[in-house]
Structure 1
Amino acid sequence: MGTYAAVVLAGGAARRMGGVDKPALPVGGRSMRDRVLAAVADAAPRVLVGPAGVVPPGVRVTREDPPGGGPVTAAAAGLALLDPATNLVALLAADLPLLTRAAIDELLSHLAPLRHTGPAASASGSSDVGPERLPDGACFVDADGRRQSLCGVWRVAALRAGLDRLTAERGGSLAGAPVRALLAGLVVREVPWSGDGPPPWFDCDTDEDVRRAEEWAR
């Protein structure tokens, strides 16, 4: 698939966990943030969007504007640091401690031409995908069919077009915009997890989630 970049979103408020720096919490002896960054170690560049802190070598750090403005403003800040020639980007939450390189490979493998003429699943419900039409991105879906949009790989041009559209629709501000609004209209390949082990999209929103991740990470 060629090279790809990675943008890891680490600016959430973690209100259900008392406002702690959730991505810095350890799972299996390593912070969730660093585990996510390790899963995309071959991405170039790797961009962390969130509060400044110690990060692995080679990782660029930026902050969304305004700070705490939500995942869409964070995605915009991360994409702003990518080279114009970058085609693919993994857009990931920083609290996915079970994410693996194999899972990223699985997503990348789905960004290939669609070679059928029948209806195709998409984030917008569109069914007009014809031969050779490329999806704009691929993300995992859970057993109930819920898309895990912040565990996906996307075409940079499609995300930038979505940001431009959403900025215009919201009068110039992306603060508080939901990810589903950014992805509206994009053709999305929905990928069920078929690999071994726990689901790579498992995120940690509560202390109980962290404990479950610890058990899986042993």
Structure 2
Amino acid sequence: MVLAGGAARRMGGVDKPVRPVGGRPMRDRVLAAVADAHPRVLVGPAGPVPAGVLVTREQPPGGGPVAATAAGLALLDPDTPVVALLAGDLPLLTGEAIGHLLRHLNAGPDGRHPTPLDQRPAAEPPGADTGGRPGAEPDGACFVDADGRRQTLCGVWRVPPLRAAVDRLAAGRGLAGAPIRALLAGLTVREVPWSGAGPPPWFDCDTDSDVRRAEEWVR
């Protein structure tokens, strides 16, 4: 699920996810990183998208990431177990990075991966669980940067607890304008450092200089 309905104020209000990096729209790069997912859902303005991608819009339009998450979840089958929740401006995201998150999500409560996923490089640091119930199976896994900041829109989440969190907010403060941290409050989140080669997969493009930097990385 790719969230692509932001206002892009620091870029003058352009449709940021369609800006090209390396000759390809950023949102298409994000969708390519989850090419094996079904379905793939884009939440944002209508427009040309790769074949097989479902498009919907948050209500109200521009209502923020929580409203967008709710709109995307509404298109998933009731028995969908896991969803990747991704910003539309992550041009450096790869399938390898998504697989890394899924391995951590499927690890046991102690952070150890079941065989054969436990056969990972010894230098890979374990993820840390925060929030929710100590020792419980994680509800989601997202990257953290070198300063320990969660990259919540570069993560994978179990659908039932994510739906429950949406319902909780909808019954309380409402979804429009709610911050993503309010959605995830109370969920057990596995924070995953990135130890792979190359640039950080959570690098997002908020400014023109960010786009130029991403262009340098993809050359």
Q: TM-score normalised to the size of structure 2?
A: 0.90
Of 149, 152, 155, which aligns to 1:149?
Answer: 152
Contact persistence 1:14–1:205 (CA under 8 A): yes
- 1:110 is matched with which residue? 104
Q: Deviations over 1:98-123 (max 9, x none)?
A: 0000000000001122137xxx631x
Contact persistence 1:121–1:127 (CA under 8 A): no
**Structure 1 residue ranges (4+ consecutive) displaced by more than 6 angstroms after TM superposition:** none
- 1:3 is matched with which residue? none
Partner SS, residue 61 of structure 1: strand
One-letter amino acid matched to 1:181: A
Of 30, 35, 58, which aligns to 2:24?
Answer: 30
Give the whole-Å Cα distance in 2 for the aligned partners of 1:158 and 1:127: 13
* Offset, 1:127: 6.4
Unmatched runs of 5 consecutive residues or more in structure 1: 1-6
In the TM superposition, 1:66-215 aligns within 5 A as: 66-112=60-106, 113-115=108-110, 121-122=129-130, 124=131, 128-129=134-135, 133-170=136-173, 173-215=174-216
One-letter amino acid matched to 1:22: K
* Offset, 1:166: 0.8
Query: Aligned pairs, how many?
Result: 202
Over the matched positions of the two proteins, sequence identity in percent amounts to 77
* Offset, 1:193: 0.4
Q: TM-score normalised to the size of structure 1?
A: 0.90
**Are residue 12 (structure 1) and residue 6 (structure 2) matched?**
yes
One-letter amino acid matched to 2:10: R
Give the whole-Å Cα distance in 2 for the aligned partners of 1:115 and 1:36: 30
Decide which moves more: 105-114 or 49-58. Answer: 105-114
Give the whole-Å Cα distance in 2 for the aligned partners of 1:22 and 1:111: 30
Contact persistence 1:136–1:155 (CA under 8 A): yes
Q: Deviations over 1:158-187 (max 9, x none)?
A: 1101011111121xx310000000000100
